[in-house]
Amino acid sequence: MTVIDTIPEKIIVMSVVVFITYLQTTVNFYIVGPALGGWLTLLAQKSLAPMNITLISLYINYYLACITSPGHTPLNWQPPSTVLRPDTSLSTRIGFDKPRYCNICQAYKPPRAHHCKQCGKCILKMDHHCPWIGNCVGFGNYPYFIRFVFSVTLCCSYGLYLLIWRFQSMLNDKRRPWITDKPSNLELVVVVINIILVAFVILIVGILAVYHAYCLIKGQTTIEGSEKRKTRRMVRRRKIDPVEFPFDVGFLHNICAVLGYNIISWLIPLPSPGNGIDFAVKSDTDPLVIYNWPPYDPKNTTDSLIDDDDYDEHNEHDEQWIGRSLVRRDSEGYLVKEITMDDRMNMLNQMDTEEGNHDWRFDDADENEYYYDSADEEDEENELDTNYEDYGEYEVTPEHNDPVQSLIIHDKPTEDEHQMT
């Protein structure tokens, strides 16, 4: 958990609004406006117009991103019957033969939907949960979110240009002795602080804008970007057959699917076309791939029913199940099956039978006498050395690399028994 997660989202949203308002107020009415003869002059309005236009877009889209529902799974929605019950006579792709189901919501997941822990619901075309807007970013508000990110980047970039221009002009005025109306030190400090703050915003939000521009062109969300990497890794390891991301239909169509099919509408705060469930896909795409993306790992059965976002909710249940089924993880993290004492005895009996030695059977052996833990290995060896003559000839046979060892006892008469005979 990060520090931002401990702060109520309403306070975060209010802080963002106050921060934006502070920057635009100081730049407009305290720094740039007065330097150009007053905020109401034509020169000031022309110089500040690009920043203020993007500022209006920033405010509107931020408000809509905060209050617009990202979209939730409709009640009683389920995929088509051909997806729920695929034809078993036809070959199906490995990793796509099980429908996506949310064990928390107890409902099927539409294509591209994921469960959000913070919202407690499955979100249509979920991108991520954003504490800076106090909302989940999904199908319903993603177009507003991405316009807000681009507006912040453009507005701050132009504002930084104006601040640097003003800072340079202030330094020049201080060096010119014939200038009587020199800028104050307070104004200089405010300019420097604003330059630092705006540069920081451009660095952080600019990186976010570049990444979401890439996602927009590729027709993917942040979560789907991670899913594509996992899918490529499974394909490389030959766990599943090669498969393409079905929702990438070309960069222009990908952009239009989010911002609208009219280029003018890209600049206007409008919702995305569609219903958040049905999406354009590549031609000849298997319906199972559309409804069951992403593919699950065939060697990890939890992936078929439990999403990555839901997995933590079931860790305790899974550990109890693993304990009951005698399955554990070894030192390298692999799942291995525990061998019980009965299994060990059966294996030794089988080995004894194959070697043709039927003089001694393990059926009635005392497991406390012939079974010990490797932690007590030194004590056991000392005990065997002490009682060597009592047992006669003996041999310690390790079972593969298992730390637990067993004794194979050969029934050899001692010297005392020879003298008695």
Active site includes 130? yes
Q: How many angstroms separate the CA atoms of 99 and 81, rounded?
A: 11
- Could you tell me the two tokens for 103? 């064990």
Helix or strand run (H / E) with residue 402: none
Residues 54, 58, 64, 70, Cα dihedral to 10°: 110
CA-based R_g, the chain, Å: 35
Residue 129 near residue 245, CB atoms below 8 Å: no
Nearest partner of 309 among 246, 218, 235, 227, judged by Cα: 227
User: Euclidean distance between the first and final Cα of the chain, in Å?
Assistant: 79
Collapsing DSSP states into helix, strand and coil, what is residue 255? helix
- Residue 216 structure tokens: 């927009």
Query: Annotated catalytic residue: which of 130, 156, 215, 256?
Result: 130
For residue 247, give the nearest of 268, 271, 267, 227 by alpha carbon. 227
Are the C-beta atoms of residues 5 and 131 closer than 8 Å to each other? yes
Q: Quote the longest CA-to-CA distance of the chain.
A: 130
Contacts of residue 28, defined as CB under 8 A and 6 or more positions apart, other chains included, come to: 39, 48, 52
CB 119 within 8 A of CB 125: no
Beta strand 405-409 pairing with 394-398: antiparallel
Beta-strand ranges (E) seen in 325-404 are: 327-329, 335-337, 394-398
Q: Which residues are known catalytic residues?
A: 130
